[in-house]
């Protein structure tokens, strides 16, 4: 399982962050793996430390910010969210499609729809070297959301799933295959909802997921003084 260009950038950023030291065991593991540990998606410390400072009061129930029609595979994998949005989103929800293809001749879906009001960042619409961008609105809105729609993208998983864990927003997916990208991740006890479940926000689930995020998707547990 190869890293996407963005995940590869984040991996190296997490290794190079100032003031972060790692155990010799961690360094040897990385060296044995050719310098890139692929079992778990990794996020840099600067990301989750910034998110920690946000107002995390859950003012939003359902949230989706992301591309839809940017390519045929993504559109197919995310087709289910349109019906979900029409059935469940309301004046306490937040929707923002970000890609230029979707926004062309776009018809607003409701009062919750900010697609034509807010400019979002779409990694695939930028050169690979410029994709390591922290979209503040994206992370702020997700931090304020009880639930985040986390459909697959051009692969059977989405980075949004891990970002929901980081923001203590409970992921909603169409099937369990959207909750991991490697065999190692498939064994983690993520807490999430399927699209047709009864969705109840559980703070204990959010904290459980956040601890998994820190343990497996950051270098936080490998630091030493």
Q: Report the CATH number at residue 165.
A: 3.40.50
Answer yes or no: is pLDDT of 25 > 70. Answer: no
pLDDT at 133: 76
Q: Is residue 59 part of a domain?
A: yes
Q: Is residue 126 part of a domain?
A: yes
Q: Check if the beta carbon of residue 108 is closer than 8 Å to that of residue 95.
A: no
pLDDT at 225: 32
Q: Is residue 192 part of a domain?
A: yes
pLDDT at 29: 47
Q: Which of 216, 135, 214, 210 is nearest to 165 (CA)?
A: 210
State which residues form the domain around 59: 53-219
pLDDT digits 0-9 by tens, 105-137: 999 999 999 999 998 888 777 787 777 778 999
103 pLDDT band, cuts 50/70/90, is very high
Q: Is residue 84 part of a domain?
A: yes
Q: Is residue 3 part of a domain?
A: no
Q: Is residue 30 part of a domain?
A: no
9 pLDDT band, cuts 50/70/90, is confident
199 pLDDT band, cuts 50/70/90, is very high
Q: Is residue 132 part of a domain?
A: yes
How many independent structural domains does the chain possess?
1
Across 185-199, average pLDDT: 97
Q: Check if the beta carbon of residue 142 is closer than 8 Å to that of residue 65.
A: yes
Whole-model pTM: value is: 0.87
Answer yes or no: is pLDDT of 79 > 90. Answer: yes
In the beta sheet, which residues pair with residue 92? Answer: none
Q: Is residue 162 part of a domain?
A: yes
> Residue 184 has which token pair?
């190692």
């Amino acid at each position: 399982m190869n890293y996407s260009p963005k995940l590869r950038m984040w991996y190296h950023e997490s290794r190079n962050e100032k003031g972060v030291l790692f155990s010799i065991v961690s360094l040897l593991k990385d060296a044995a793996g050719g310098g890139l540990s692929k079992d778990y998606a990794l996020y840099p410390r600067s990301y989750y430390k910034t998110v920690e400072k946000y107002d995390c009061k859950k003012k939003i129930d359902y949230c989706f910010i992301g591309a839809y029609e940017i390519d045929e595979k993504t559109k197919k994998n995310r087709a289910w969210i349109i019906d979900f949005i029409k059935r469940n989103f309301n004046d306490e929800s937040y929707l923002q499609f970000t890609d230029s293809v979707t926004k062309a001749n776009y018809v607003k879906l409701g009062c919750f729809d900010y697609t034509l009001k807010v400019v979002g960042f779409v990694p695939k619409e930028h050169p690979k070297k410029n994709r390591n961008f922290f979209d503040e609105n994206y992370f702020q809105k997700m931090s304020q959301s009880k639930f985040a729609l986390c459909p697959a993208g051009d692969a059977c998983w989405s980075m949004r799933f891990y970002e929901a864990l980081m923001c203590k927003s409970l992921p909603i997916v169409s099937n369990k295959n959207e909750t991991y990208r490697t065999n190692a991740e498939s064994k983690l006890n993520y807490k999430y909802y399927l699209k047709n479940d009864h969705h109840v926000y559980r703070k204990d689930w959010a904290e459980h997921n956040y601890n998994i995020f820190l343990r497996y998707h950051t270098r936080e547990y490998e630091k030493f003084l």
